Amino acid sequence: MGFPGTWMTESNSVLYRVVPKCACSTIGQIMYYSDHGRFFDGDIHDAKSGLHKWAIAESQARITQAVQQRQTYAFTCVRNPYTRVLSSFFDKICGIQRNGKRYRGNLVPQLTYEYGIEVGGADGKEPFDQIKSFRRFLLFVRDTIRFRRPMEPDIHWSATSGHVSTFIYNGGRYDKVIWTERFNEGMQEVLDAIETPQPVDLASIPRFNESEGHGPKRAHPVEDYFDDLSMHLVYEIYKRDFELFKYDVDNPGNKMPVGEIDLGEIHAKLGE
């Protein structure tokens, strides 16, 4: 299976396991900058050079060697399940993508027909009941993850622990797992632990939120989208995420972690 979703700097200074909707665009640009002293011109997910990626065939041997030798610092980044699934809804379901089209072609019409989800019209700008549609989206997410219908789970809403686990299961080991909610603190710890060809001043690095502006603005506080049933569904879907990455399952309004991440626990439970 290898190491899908893994990026590495060309200088071999650092390895990163990408988790969608968890600051991956910013992290990728920081890695690119740390080698080249400039940012990639465009969405870093589109870069075909300047960064080793598992999706690039020529990079796979280099990444495999780095993981197996464990001489390259490896990390990943996680996010609160409540805010992550909500962000996925507004970006991927309600939003128009970079190519000017809806995400995954006929997915939105299918959701409108089968789940009664509204997305704000053809351009996502018309008013609609965001809370009702999001809660119906959660039913769809649960169906894809638990029953694998009407489609396989999508990477943007499948569990963070699932992404993180493939790296461990295939022989990798993380030196650090950082939180999106404490990004500067965590990313600085990563930078302090490695040597980069180009110095990186984290305070001056912009945030590359490539999904921003794709969809309608969130009209309510996070907690308003989750009633008792929604919270139950989220816990059913993302139980391991809450437990391993120490997020508050009882309060959707608290996006911050409530404990310290235990790397030993992560490697033990996700390496099974």
DSSP state of 180: G
Going by C-beta distance under 8 Å and a sequence separation of 6 or more, which residues neighbour residue 233? 138, 139, 141, 142
Is residue 10 within 8 A of residue 51, CB to CB? The reply is yes
Q: Tell me the pLDDT band of 59, cut-offs 50, 70 and 90.
A: very high
Q: What is the pLDDT of residue 106?
A: 87
Which secondary-structure segment (H or E) carries 15?
Answer: strand 14-17
Higher pLDDT, 201 or 98: 201
Q: Per-residue confidence at 58, pLDDT binned at 50, 70, 90?
A: very high
User: By three-state DSSP, how is residue 76 classified?
Assistant: strand
Condensed to tens digits (0 to 9), the pLDDT of residues 77-93 reads 999 999 999 999 999 99
**Angstrom distance (rounded) from CA 246 to CA 37:** 35
pTM for the model: 0.94
Average pLDDT taken over every residue of the chain: 94
Region of residue 253 (phi > 0: left; psi between -120 and 50: alpha; otherwise: beta): alpha
What pLDDT does 213 receive? 60
Q: How far apart, in whole angstroms, are the C-alpha atoms of residue 34 and residue 120?
A: 40
Q: Where residue 22 falls among pLDDT bands split at 50, 70, 90?
A: very high
Identify any residues that bridge with 17 across adjacent strands, giving them in sequence order.
6, 76
pLDDT value for 214: 62
User: How much of the chain exceeds pLDDT 70, in percent?
Assistant: 98
- Within 10 Å of residue 248's Cβ, how many Cβ atoms? 16
Q: Is the pLDDT of residue 43 over 60?
A: yes
Backbone angles phi, psi at 77, to 5 degrees: -135, 135
Residue 149 pLDDT > 80: yes
Predicted confidence band of residue 264 (pLDDT cuts 50, 70, 90): very high
Q: Which residue matches tokens 């870093």?
A: 44
H-only helix segments in the chain? 24-36, 60-69, 81-88, 107-115, 130-142, 160-169, 183-193, 228-245, 263-270
Q: What is the mean pLDDT of residues 157-173?
A: 96
**Predicted local distance difference test score (pLDDT) of residue 226:** 98
Q: What does the pLDDT look like over 196-238, one tens digit per residue?
A: 999 999 999 988 875 556 678 899 999 999 999 999 999 999 9
The phi and psi torsions of 230 (rounded to 5 degrees) equal -60, -40
Cα-Cα end-to-end distance for the chain: 15
Q: What is the pLDDT of residue 211?
A: 57
Tokens of 259: 């404990």
CB atoms within 10 A of CB 54: 18
User: Which of helix, strand or coil describes residue 31?
Assistant: helix
